[in-house]
Each structure stands twice: as C-alpha cells, then as structure tokens.
C-alpha cells in the first residue's frame, strides 16, 4: 500500500465546490505542499506519483479536480467555518471530528519509535528527548499527548542527523519513511532499532457543511479509494514473524484438539454438497444473519465446537474471531457469526486448504472504519492424525494489539 501512499503527513486538501464555467460538474480544489518532508529528495509531489492516485479517485466522481498549494492550518480553519469542504491527509483526531468526518484510509502508516542501536528505549518513549517534523502528524500526536519539550525541524533527515549526533534520543516515525531516509543518509539498519507503536490511517476529513449539501459524497469517495488503490494493506514478513511467535503455541494446541478433529471428520463423512445446495445454504445463512435470527444461525453450526471456540477466543485478547471451515469451505463453527456461510470462494480457504502442514496464510489487512481497528485473518490447514486434509482454522487478529504484545520479539 505504501508505494501508492506517499501522500505524506504535511499534504493538505482544500475542497471548494463551485460550478466551473467549462463544465456542469462542480470543481474540487486540492491544496498540497510542494515537496516531501520525509526524504532528502525535495522534488515536487507530482513526480512521486501522488497526483495520479488522487486523480483516479475523482475520475469516478461527478466532480472536477483542481490542485493548489495551501498551508495546512489554514485549510483546517476554512473547513471548520464552512468555506472549504475538507482537508487531507489527516489522522483521526477528536478535535477535527467536531466539524468533519474522516474518510476511509488512503494511506496506512506504521509508526515506530526509533533509537540508536546502543541506546535503550524507555518503556514510555514520551519521557525521552525526542523531535518531530514541523506540521507533521507525529507533531500533532505529541501535542495531543501533552509532550511539551521536543525539537521541531523541517524534515526527517534532519531528525535522523540529530538522533545520531546525540541531540535527541528517540524519533517517532513511519517505518518505511524512516528506513528510506536513513538509507539515503547512508545510515545502515544495524545502527538503529525500533519498537512498533501503532498503525495510523490517513484520509480526508470532509466538513459537516460540505457533507450536508452533498450527502452521498463520502460514500462515493470511500468506494473509489478502493477502486484506485488495488493493492491492499499487507503485513511485512517481520510482522508476520511477530504474530507467529505470539500465537504459535495456541495454533498448535487448537489445530490438534480432539473435538475440532472429530467434528471435521464427521463432516467429511457426509455426502459432498452440490453447488446448488451450497448456494441455497449460503442464502439461508445470509438472510438469517441480516435479520439477526440467531437461532437459525446456531442450527447451522456445531454448538459444542462454537462454545469451545468462544473459550479459545477469550484466552487471547488479540483475537477478534475464530472460524472452523470444513473441506467444502462451509462453516462448521464461528465466533462471532460470519456474514456468509460458504468460505470456499475466499482466500482464507482457497489459500490455506492447500498449504503444507504447519504453514500459515496471512490475508490482507482490513480497516474497520466504525471501530478504527486493523484486522487480518490468519488461516492454517487442519489434518487428521493419518494426514487427511479435513478443513481450515481461521483466526481474526487485531494487528495493533498483536504487534504491541509481541514488540519484545521485534529486532
């Protein structure tokens, strides 16, 4: 996602809707800073591929796009008083939500605390000497969390130089931005270390005044973000390793549990269902799910196994769901209820079912806008004692909780 996401923290969006004399479509004016504050390369953003992504979104909307350079704080004020429609890029901030709504993420930043390799990172890095880029989201976060004493500089390379000069002891930054800037400065990775802090979704805050006049705009905008950013958020191999270390013992125990194996084996003995039967069952499930007919959903699941999985879920706070899937891709047990009954057309089943024993499949990272939580599904194949493939066990994982819990395992 990041290669589509160099719409950086000091980028701002002005959305001023007015009728263009050359077209019946209203014009949306975007204000943006000219250069990046995260690299030694100070080229205009147009050369970094940012405009093409934003332009793609608006090519699907009944609006025209116009670009202007504007200061960050000015656009916030203009949105709050209703003269402009929104600003961009923005992290979730309760202050903004008094007068605006945040879109789905355009960018997912992975914030880490960085220190020199020979310098210990405090349990609470806010107590350390730190710095921030002027006008950045990290500076906003420091201010929101009452960190009063920090150095504010123009760009990330300056912060890294201050870090290795001993002027500051910690830097809060996006992992990709820091690694790239350090590389440009010739700083090898062995000279610094990091600890995961949090994911930060960056999107557009649309003002309430604008949304009241254009009630369908936000839904349309969110829809075409996904159309124009085809590569979903994915976990790095390092992050996958952290999650494996955190959950490996649980997965090993659960995937070999006698009740799970027994109930999957019973399903295996049942006659295979036709495509029409699977479609009928899936339709029944979806209708019951939409109407919250829990008694119908329970009737289609194994009560005993679902109860056991509810206990498993309670054993680890990073888990958001568990699903036992039979060899045809149908639910055997699910906590909580899934939105569909047949998982056979989804990656969690299609990829995991054919893995070698002991292998894991990590699905894409999904952002839940209502809870502002990042989740992924981890799936492993389930085999009988004699090696027959019985189905798949899927775990929903709260990524931030998992990476924070496993931070001690991160190099």
Confirm whether pTM is higher than 0.85: no
Q: How confident is the model at residue 309 (pLDDT cuts 50, 70, 90)?
A: very high
Instruction: Tell me the residue ranges of DSSP E strands in 232-372.
Output: 319-326, 331-335, 361-362, 366-368
Identify the pLDDT of residue 47: 35
Q: Which CATH architecture has domain 110-198?
A: 3-Layer(aba) Sandwich (3.40)
**Helices marked H in 165-206 — which ranges?**
175-184
For 329-367, the pLDDT digits (tens) are 999 999 999 999 999 999 999 999 999 999 999 998 887
Identify the pLDDT of residue 39: 55
| CA distance linking residue 337 with residue 348, whole number of Å | 16
Pairing of strands 361-362, 373-383: antiparallel
For 263-284, the pLDDT digits (tens) are 999 999 999 999 999 999 999 9
For residues 182 and 34, the model is more confident at: 182
Residue 395 has pLDDT above 80, yes or no: yes
Place of tokens 């009928």: 280
Q: Which CATH number does 2-108+200-228 carry?
A: 3.40.190.10
For 1-59, the pLDDT digits (tens) are 443 333 333 334 444 444 444 468 888 776 665 445 665 554 444 434 456 777 888 89
Identify the pLDDT of residue 77: 82
For 140-177, the pLDDT digits (tens) are 899 989 898 899 998 999 999 999 999 999 999 999 89
Identify the pLDDT of residue 410: 41
For residues 65 and 384, the model is more confident at: 384
Of the candidates 59, 71, 57, the residue with the CA atom closest to the CA atom of residue 107 = 57
Average pLDDT of 298-312?
96
Spans of all domains in the chain:
2-108+200-228, 110-198, 237-409
- Cis, peptide link before residue 89, omega less than 30° from 0: yes
SS3 286: helix
The residues near 134 (Cβ < 8 Å, ≥ 6 apart) are: 37, 152, 153, 154
Task: Output the average pLDDT for the chain.
Answer: 85
Q: In CATH, what class is 237-409?
A: alpha beta
Is the fold of 2-108+200-228 the same as that of 237-409?
no
The percentage of the chain sitting over the pLDDT mark of 90, rounded to a whole number, equals 56
Average pLDDT of 217-243?
83
Identify the pLDDT of residue 370: 66
Most confident of 33-37, 103-107, 115-119, 399-403: 115-119
């Amino acid at each position: 996602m990041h290669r589509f996401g160099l719409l950086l923290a000091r980028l701002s969006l002005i959305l001023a809707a007015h009728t263009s004399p050359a077209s019946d479509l209203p014009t949306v004016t975007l204000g943006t800073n000219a250069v990046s504050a995260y690299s030694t390369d100070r080229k205009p953003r147009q050369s970094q591929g940012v405009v093409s992504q934003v332009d793609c979104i608006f090519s699907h909307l009944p609006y025209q796009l116009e670009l202007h350079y504007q200061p960050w704080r000015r656009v916030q004020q203009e949105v709050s008083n209703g003269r402009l429609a929104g600003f961009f890029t923005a992290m979730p901030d309760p202050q903004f939500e008094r007068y605006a709504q945040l879109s789905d993420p355009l960018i997912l930043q992975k914030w880490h605390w960085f220190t020199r390799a020979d310098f210990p990172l405090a349990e609470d890095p806010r107590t350390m000497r730190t710095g921030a880029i002027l006008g950045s989201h990290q500076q906003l976060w420091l201010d929101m969390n009452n960190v009063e004493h920090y150095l504010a500089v123009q760009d990330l390379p300056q912060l890294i130089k201050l870090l290795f000069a001993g002027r500051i002891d910690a830097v809060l930054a996006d992992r990709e931005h820091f690694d790239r800037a350090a590389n440009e400065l010739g700083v090898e990775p062995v000279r610094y270390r990091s600890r995961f802090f949090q994911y930060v979704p960056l999107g557009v805050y649309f003002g309430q005044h604008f949304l009241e006049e254009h009630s369908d705009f936000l839904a349309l905008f969110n829809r075409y973000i996904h159309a124009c950013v085809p590569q979903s958020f994915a976990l790095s191999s390092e992050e996958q390793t952290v999650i494996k270390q955190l959950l490996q013992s649980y997965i090993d125990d659960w995937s070999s549990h006698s009740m799970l194996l027994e109930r999957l084996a019973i399903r295996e003995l049942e006659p295979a269902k036709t495509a029409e039967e699977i479609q009928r069952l899936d339709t029944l499930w979806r209708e019951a799910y939409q109407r919250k007919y829990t008694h119908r959903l329970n009737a289609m699941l194994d009560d005993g196994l679902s109860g056991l999985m509810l206990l498993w879920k309670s054993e680890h706070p990073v888990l958001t769901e568990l699903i036992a899937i039979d060899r045809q891709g149908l639910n055997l047990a699910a906590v909580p209820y899934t939105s569909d009954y047949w998982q056979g057309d989804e990656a969690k089943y299609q990829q995991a079912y054919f893995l070698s024993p002991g292998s894991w499949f990590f699905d894409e990272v999904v952002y839940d806008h209502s809870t502002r939580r990042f989740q992924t599904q981890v799936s492993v194949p389930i085999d009988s004692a004699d090696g027959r493939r019985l189905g798949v066990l899927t775990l929903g994982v709260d990524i931030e909780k998992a990476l924070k819990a496993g931070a001690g395992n991160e190099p």
